[in-house]
Amino acid sequence: MKTIQAIVIALLAICSAGAREISPMLFGQNYWLSDEAEDRVGYLHLLWPQVEESGVSLIRIGGNGYNVEPMSLAHWTSMVDSVQAIGVEPLVQVPYTFSAEEASAFVKHFNREGRKAVKYWSIGNEPMLHDEHTVEEVHAYLQRIAPAMRAADPSITILISDEAWLREPVYAALCGGDLDMTGRDAEGRWLVDGFSFHSYPNGVEYDREDVVHGSAAAIRRDVQKLVALMEAADAKHGRTGENRLVWALTEVNVTYANPNRDVEGVGNPSFLGWRVGGGYWLGQDGLGFGAAAVQ
């Protein structure tokens, strides 16, 4: 675990002498995988003490399974409660299949009076990975769901669209382009607050050099491209201060190949493997250039 964290810290190091405060949401973990979730073997239910001790600030409850087979509300609630119980912020993914009414009710359920509100939310997961959707279809469900979520609780942070990698044409369209999601809704509220993506830089064959240097460089380039798009969209819509767009890297692993499924391995159920540290946050600026905190 310490080795993995050291790599993460090195990858996300602030190399500017005048760097601003690093986001408190810098290091996170995905809720992946509790036993029998998605009918697969998992270990997370055994590892909550280790998760708490690791010092993560955010745990994302999301992934493909939450899209194709949404859980019962009771199950979802128990997951959010288990995350909040160790003093960590959850990031809850809303299934892209939800209607506007379902999305609204979902947010209201978790953020109703008497509960600790969920601040961070996302919509959908890797919608274009297997060409299941066009960017126009992605835009359509974002337009359906995001305003309903915002109306349910205007204070939440909404992220889109968790593609499997930074598909530049897709993000360019949604971030200030022809299918722009960075403006305001009919009520004058910001549709979304930022953009999220995933990164699996290596395949079956890779070595330490690929992981430590090649992967870090690839992620840095992607973040710089996304930040440039966000800065242009901020300028287009006059988004300043706390309204500036933010970004998040919500899934990352050294490989997309899932070579094994042991708890100590780097397969998708592995605590130390797939999605470890899945919520890397550096706020509004580029990787290694100083990061405004996501509060």
Range of the structural domain that residue 29 is part of: 2-281
Instruction: Evaluate whether residue 291 is within a structural domain.
Output: no
Instruction: Evaluate whether residue 32 is within a structural domain.
Output: yes
Instruction: Evaluate whether residue 286 is within a structural domain.
Output: no
| Domain count along the chain | 1
Residue 29 near residue 271, CB atoms below 8 Å: no
Instruction: Evaluate whether residue 287 is within a structural domain.
Output: no
For 122, the token pair is: 């996302």
∠ Cα 181 104 135 (to 5°): 30
Instruction: Evaluate whether residue 123 is within a structural domain.
Output: yes
Instruction: Evaluate whether residue 293 is within a structural domain.
Output: no
Q: What is the CA radius of gyration of the chain?
A: 18
For residue 99, the domain's CATH number is: 3.20.20.80
Q: Tens digit of pLDDT for each residue in 242-273? A: 999 999 988 888 788 876 666 666 665 554 43
Q: Helix crossing, 215-237 with 2-11: angle to 10°?
A: 50
Single pTM value for the model = 0.85
Q: Tens digit of pLDDT for each residue in 179-188? A: 999 999 999 9
User: Is the confidence at residue 4, as pLDDT, over 50?
Assistant: no
Q: Tens digit of pLDDT for each residue in 26-58? A: 677 888 777 666 666 777 778 888 888 888 888
End-to-end CA gap in the chain: 27
User: Which of these, 226, 247, 291, lies nearest to 18 by C-alpha position?
Assistant: 291
Instruction: Evaluate whether residue 295 is within a structural domain.
Output: no
What average pLDDT does the chain have?
82
Instruction: Evaluate whether residue 213 is within a structural domain.
Output: yes
pLDDT value of residue 51: 85
Residues 6+ apart with CB under 8 A from 221: none
Q: Tens digit of pLDDT for each residue in 275-293? A: 333 334 445 554 443 333 2
Report residue 67's pLDDT band, with 50, 70 and 90 as the boundaries: confident
For 140, the token pair is: 């359509």
In whole angstroms, what is the distance from residue 208 CA to residue 281 CA? 24
